[in-house]
Chains A and B, each alone.
Chain A
């Protein structure tokens, strides 16, 4: 098992180098640099000397290859670079924002899994009933309605009909005030979880329908087990493998920052940080943040693979007995 993990981690290195190179080149190919995005059209009022002074301030005066090698060298020593626009090391900025993103991802994932698996299971067990119809409608709506619509509607309803808006740009950390923090995180998490709960519902439902038709379910029922035991212990557990895969991929995305939801609900997460970095051409921050997101993604993929073994003991890694 450990050997398997080690092998997987080594295999990740070329992926990460590839990602960092791709991002490094892509952002430099996009027109506009930090000076242009900071000054806007006023950048055109600069004399050549003024421009040169600013280029050296932003570190844009060195050749791209030198910039990459220097940056990579720093990264290997745990230094992701320095964001001039924020006046802070990139790693500090990421670590400040990551808890927000992590909390949002976690709460929305839990919400989606609870809602999705419950609805999916009920839909499958009560196949073609009213509940099944409702579940399928819910899934259809969840998959069709984009985040920005749900989020904006939610904010509209909250502010116009209830006269509240838990987060008007005054985000409170979990450690500072858990109740206030929960109030601020629950609505964006619901927005984010809605579409995901729809995919979880559909996946659970179809997996359950398949499993419920299996011989071992009939055997279990004929042994005289309670229907609830059959469904939760025998059917659901086996139907969970595709859901775990789905959740893993989704979590990988969510930890990269939920850009739209973070924008709408004014959450200072990783997605917003990266988006702003891109529009400001904050190269160090873009490179650092994308590398961080890529690392998250591959680690989560690995964890999901390991979880398979827990959900389905038939799957094992590393030991060939």
Chain B
């Protein structure tokens, strides 16, 4: 029998070995062709027609598909539709569908699935927020299995772009008729949903009969790691192959000895100081313009986002942007700002309450603080109200604020990006707090203009007019970040944050 001291020693050694045993890098995924990915926020549901959270869309984009999609340059490209065309009068939009496409359960994809899916979105019972983008569709016909004709109430040019959102995903008609899309996933995308444990992990398996390129991995395991610094640590330690990151302050941390790399793509979402011109004294044009002139946008980027962003006007898509020097007061001009405040009779300044959501985006509070400091120069005392996200959204929707720091989503087309805010009867016009005849008319022309150059001019004027009237102060657009190990190749990051191109990624461990 061992003496008592000997037993104690063994126990101590055993505990130490167990603890130190961890120091051998785990690399559990050696040899496997599953891509291990981590992100902080999980999907909130599976129904592509009702989910709007970015986290849900990123997962759904891997399993469902739309008629068209945008590539990494935001150019529309064929997806389930091989081609599309407007009739000469613009009142009909015809899609020629891809043949030989099957859903994950093996059933063939046809025009009936398209019609039933779009009808489901238009049905108010579904509760789809994207319905508002499809209201120009009056009826749909299917001349054959691979053609869909949409009859429109007006020549709705941006409708094609609206149909690139995963919120307009095509579901099999049987699933809509007999199943529950919030519980069953059956798409045509490159990956099939194998399992979803909310807030823990999602397993996607490669769809062998996918019509497009890839997938070249066996599947993707999406792990939820709520803290982004932990995700960075996992990337450094080689425990994961791929990561989605949101916080620029974390994504730009040095990688230590690790060979992992961070991809950056300019994001089309924009950081903005929303003013509500409906509230005094913001109803005075001079006051809003003074705020615009007093803010040094580059300093906001440099201080709040450590330089991780580009100063932007209302449109963030490179193809649509007008040069910044064409926009009113895009260089800080304090003398002009003071003059404008004097013209408004407000040299003494006033108090401006600004709401921000905690960590949504992660830089929100810092942005507000930089602006608070900058507006002091024209005697505007910014008071910051930091709110939990749900509370913030509630106040925002109710237009119960004077000013707000927001991160608003971008689109590949300017019309759906702003139609909800700057038209007389728009859903969010009350929230936007401002409208005038010029804006309303530019929006309406922009919707129906079919000539691309004329359309570009309309939206150039739209940007100049918005900067001039300053209902909001556009600040900057940041980047979307993904992290990956050197052995992950052929992945292309996108400005929408979509990770669809994981379908083309390869693992070369």
A contacts, CB < 8 Å to B: 30-32, 36-47, 49-51, 53-54, 57, 85-87, 152, 155-156, 158-160, 162-166, 168-171, 179, 182-183, 186, 263-266, 268, 272-273, 276, 279-281
Contact = CB atoms under 8 A, between A and B. Distances in A.
B420 A45 contact: yes
A54 B53 CA distance: 16
B237 A43 contact: no
B229 interface: yes
Contacts of B93: none
12 contacts: A32-B390, A38-B44, A39-B50, A40-B52, A41-B393, A44-B427, A44-B428, A163-B238, A164-B24, A168-B223, A168-B230, A272-B199
A30 B390 contact: yes
Interface in B35-58: 36, 38, 44-45, 50-53
A165 B230 contact: yes
Interface stretch (B2-10, B119-127, B454-462, B501-509): B119-127
Contact of A44 (B44, B231, B431): B431
Most chain B CB inside 10 Å of its own CB: which residue of A36, A46, A168, A183: A168
A158 B124 contact: no
Interface in B203-249: 221, 223-227, 229-234, 236-240
B389 A279 contact: yes
B271 interface: no
Interface stretch (B14-22, B289-297, B373-381, B473-481): B14-22
Contacts of A163: 25, 236-238, 257-258
B183 A87 contact: yes
Contacts of B132: 45
Interface of B: 18-19, 21-26, 28, 36, 38, 44-45, 50-53, 124-132, 183, 198-201, 221, 223-227, 229-234, 236-240, 256-258, 388-391, 393-397, 408, 420, 427-428, 431
A315 B468 CA distance: 80
Contact of B234 (A32, A39, A168): A168
Nearest to B420: A45
Contacts of B221: 170
B29 to A, nearest CB: 10
A36 B236 contact: no
A86 B44 CA distance: 9
Given A32-B391, A268-B200, A39 B237 contact: no
A164 B18 contact: no
B431 to A, nearest CB: 7
Given A53-B127, A182-B18, A272-B226, A32 B237 contact: no
B233 A165 contact: yes
A318 to B, nearest CB: 39
Contacts of A57: 127
A98 B257 CA distance: 37
A279 B240 CA distance: 27
Nearest to B232: A159
A169 B198 contact: no
A159 B199 contact: no
Contact of B390 (A31, A162, A165, A265): A31
Contacts of B183: 87
A168 B199 contact: no
Contacts of B21: 179, 183
Given A41-B396, A166-B22, A168-B230, 9 more contacts: A39-B129, A42-B52, A43-B393, A158-B233, A160-B233, A164-B23, A164-B237, A169-B234, A276-B199
Contacts of B240: 168-169
A46 B428 CA distance: 11
Contacts of B428: 41, 44-45
A36 to B, nearest CB: 5
Contacts of A43: 129, 393, 397
Contacts of A32: 388-391, 393-394
Contacts of B227: 152, 263-264, 266
A164 B129 contact: no
Contacts of B52: 38-40, 42
Contacts of B124: 47, 49-50, 53
Contacts of A168: 36, 38, 223, 225, 230-231, 233-234, 237, 239-240
A47 B128 CA distance: 9
Contact of A268 (B129, B199, B236): B199
Contact of A155 (B130, B233, B431): B233
A46 B234 contact: no
Contacts of A159: 232-234, 236-237, 256
A107 to B, nearest CB: 12
